Structures are given as structure tokens and as C-alpha cells.
Structure 1
Amino acid sequence: MDESIYVGNADPDALAERGWLLGHFMPPGHPRHSTDVEIKWGRHPAGDRRAEWVRGEQRTALLVLISGRFHLEFPRRTVVLGKQGDYVVWGRGVDHSWYAPEEAVVLTVRWPSVPGYAIG
């Protein structure tokens, strides 16, 4: 068996790591360990809202809507993702929050993977 290959499923793997599939917080040497990028599979029930705004973001992020409807909130703008494949990218220093008005699944990619940042 090749230990440099990992095969999984986003739903159960994400549940075990608060949604995260890849990043610096995975065990060193594991194929899912990366200091370059973080990837999250997010399942959000209707009405789910981020507890508090992210301020002073140190990473660039891409969020892609897989299903449902999802709102990304920025200081002067709210972006509504409503069609499968809709996405938004924001850079370092951009404060943000989110809200799921209906059940939604999103894929988030952040880079770099910054040690010391909370997994949440």
C-alpha cells in the first residue's frame, strides 16, 4: 500500500476535522498535511451563521458553492452564491463572515496554511 496516497470521502473526513480536509493541522507525513493550502468541505444547515467575523485575515480564500444557497458578508458588500459553481475569492486583510439561508454545501480553499490559526 502506498502511504503517499489517501482516498477518502469529504463527508466523514470533514466531520472528524471540523470540515477541514487538508492543511498544516493534519499530522506531519500524512498526505493531507500541507503548509501551502487548506481545503474545507462545509455542510451548513439552514440558518447557520458564523459566530463572529474574521478580522485581519492572513490568507487568500476561494469559496465555491456545491449546493444550496450561501451568503459571504464583507464590510461593504454581501455576495450571494445561489447557483452550483458560483464562487467568490477574497484576499489577505479582508474581514468577512457568512450565513446559510438554506441548507448549503461549500468547498473552501485557503492559502497559505497558517500555523496558529484556529481550525474553525
Structure 2
Amino acid sequence: MDLITGNAYDTDTRGTGWFLGFSDWTRHGPGELLHVPRQQALSGLCAKWFDHPAGHDSGDAKPVSEGRTVSILVSEGSAFRIEFSGRADFPEDTTEVVLLRRPGDFAAWGAGLYHRWHCLERSTVMSLRWNPA
């Protein structure tokens, strides 16, 4: 599964704070999802900032992902669950659950995954999506 998780505060950014981008230290995890080569063109860049009330959920699975997406929890006292699967019916044996609980927690995923989410406690989440050219 083309998925990595972590916390932006805990990521070794060599003192820069940049955990996503063209720097060499963003080259980690499956598919190097947080690395965007300096010369690589991008298309379809989107940014979403959403304050989810407790109990808010995505309902059925979202369409299969394209490109790359990173969702980052930015609020204190929050809990936001994202489930990922290579199949739209989310069978238990192929589903990975990620819980974002502390500010800076993130999930980054590539193309070909289905996802759905549920807000357990009020959460503000910023998501970035783009297509590498």
C-alpha cells in the first residue's frame, strides 16, 4: 500500500521544518510520497482546510485516489480516523487504519487507494493534493 504516516514535528527536517518538498530528507518511505523533485512539474494542486465537527464522516468511500495526497491534523485535542484500502469494499484484511491525534500527525498516500474518514473528536485537517507530471 502506497501510504506513509508520521508527525511533522518528529520528522528530521534538518532544522528547516520542510517535511514535504524537494529536499533530500523528504526521500523516505514507500514511493517517497513526501518528495517532489525540484524540476518535476505538478498539475492539479489543491489545498483543503476543513474544521470537522465530532461525528462528521465521509460516508461511503471516496473515489480511488489519483496523484498524491497528504492530510495533516492541525488542531489540539482532536481525533480523526482515516481508513485506506486497495478495494472499494474495504475488506478487513486489506484495510489500514490511521488515527491522527496530535497536531502534526499526517497520512500521505499515492494513487490507486480508496479512503474513507470519520471525525471522532472535533478536528481541523489540512489536505494537499497534486499530480506529479
Same fold? TM cut 0.5:
yes
Higher relative contact order structure (alpha carbons within 8 Å, sequence separation ≥ 6) = 2
Count of matched residue pairs:
80
Q: How far, CA to CA, are the matches of 2:83 and 2:47 in structure 1?
A: 20
Partner of 1:44: 52
Stretches of 4+ moved more than 6 A in 1?
A: none
Determine which of 90, 104, 108 is the counterpart of 1:89.
108
Q: Does 1:66 align with 2:74?
A: yes
RMSD of aligned Cα (Å) = 1.8
Paired with 2:70 and 2:101, the residues of 1 have a C-alpha distance of 16
**Distance between the aligned counterparts of 1:36 and 1:84, measured in 2?**
26
Of 120, 128, 131 in structure 2, the residue corresponding to residue 101 of structure 1 is 120
- Unaligned ranges ≥5, structure 1: 1-33, 113-120
| TM-score of the superposed pair, with normalisation by structure 2 | 0.56
Bigger fraction of residues in strand: 2
Select between 86-95 and 50-59 the one with higher mean Cα deviation. Answer: 50-59
- What is the aligned-residue identity percentage? 30
Whether contact under 8 Å (2:83, 2:115) holds in the other structure is yes
- Kindly state the Cα deviation for residue 35 of structure 1 after the two structures are TM-superposed: 4.5
Rounded to whole Å, the distance in 1 between the matches of 2:115 and 2:44 is 22
